[in-house]
Amino acid sequence: MLKNTQNKSKIMKLLIINPHPDDAEFTCACTIKQALDLGWEVHEVLMTSDEYGTSRNDFKGKRIRRIRKHEMREAAKAYGTKLDGKPKINLIWFGEIDGYLPFNKRVFLKLKTLILNLKPHVVIAPDSFFSLDLHPDHLHTGWLVYVAIKSMKPFQRPLLLLYHSFNPNFYITIKDLSIQMEALSKHASQISPLGLKYLKLIRGIYYYSRMIHTAPYLAEGFRKVEFKPNENSIKKLKHELIYCYIVKRMSGPPREHYLPTPKELGLIP
């Protein structure tokens, strides 16, 4: 399974790179929990801090950021805590702004340096090529992680698994789904108790339908990246149809930048 020959450490390291707090809960929560239970070191990068994660203008910016960071720490604790009460997951706040994550050289170099310094064995990030979520922060995160790892020397590259993919080819079997809802419930500003119940039902149906591929096991699905030519191009008619008739329609028209602007909210000088 492992490709990374640079990391000789006996402790296995998993790095999840998410655009927003709560993305892990929707995509790879069970994998994270199982890695921690197996004694893996788990790091989670949050590219942004959800500064626009509310419809209330008086909460946007620094106020909701404080709330979302607190909720994220509480959600991380649901996966397990250390003796000092802190979450086992090491949260790394990357510092970009929700809805404004750029795909540029500055962020690329910062992210690549972070990955090289951390030396994870496995990286989990959004799939931006066969993506079920066309939010710009998700697309940019996926592209940034992909090009950062592709630009490394082959022996430095961790195994890259992409979530939210409509072309999965790699399944990690899981024992149960409970951690998803348990952790998601800590993001209280994002979801009501009733919404949580509804989501639990939808998520259950989604996961059980995946058993077509993974029966008799439940599993989380990813696209394993090989860095082969053309592996990211949509070639099959099935994928073309999913992209045009499901993903694009689900996502609606391209998103405008969030308002008020980060400058008006005092997030940037």
Do the beta carbons of residue 30 and residue 178 sit within 8 Å?
no
Please state the closest distance from residue 44 (CB atom) to Zn ion, in A. Answer: 13
Find the helix packing angle between 105-118 and 136-150, rounded to 10°: 60
Nearer to Zn ion, 4 or 190 (CB): 190
Contact between 88 and Zn ion (CB under 5 A)?
A: no
Nearer to Zn ion, 19 or 158 (CB): 19
Nearest Cα to 121, choosing from 158, 90, 92, 81? 158
CA distance 184 to 188: 8
Contact between 186 and Zn ion (CB under 5 A)?
A: no
Nearer to Zn ion, 4 or 49 (CB): 49
Q: Which of 19, 61, 168, 262 binds Zn ion (CB under 5 A)?
A: 19
Q: Which of 20, 33, 65, 68 binds Zn ion (CB under 5 A)?
A: 20
Burial pattern 138-155, b for ≥16 Cβ within 10 A else e, equals bbbbbbbbbebbeebeee
Do the beta carbons of residue 137 and residue 19 sit within 8 Å?
yes
Contact between 23 and Zn ion (CB under 5 A)?
A: yes
Contact between 142 and Zn ion (CB under 5 A)?
A: no
Contact between 164 and Zn ion (CB under 5 A)?
A: no
Please state the closest distance from residue 184 (CB atom) to Zn ion, in A. Answer: 13
Please state the closest distance from residue 133 (CB atom) to Zn ion, in A. Answer: 7
Residue 167, SS3 per DSSP: coil
Nearer to Zn ion, 20 or 223 (CB): 20
Do the beta carbons of residue 187 and residue 75 sit within 8 Å?
yes
Residues in contact with Zn ion by CB under 5 A are: 19-20, 23
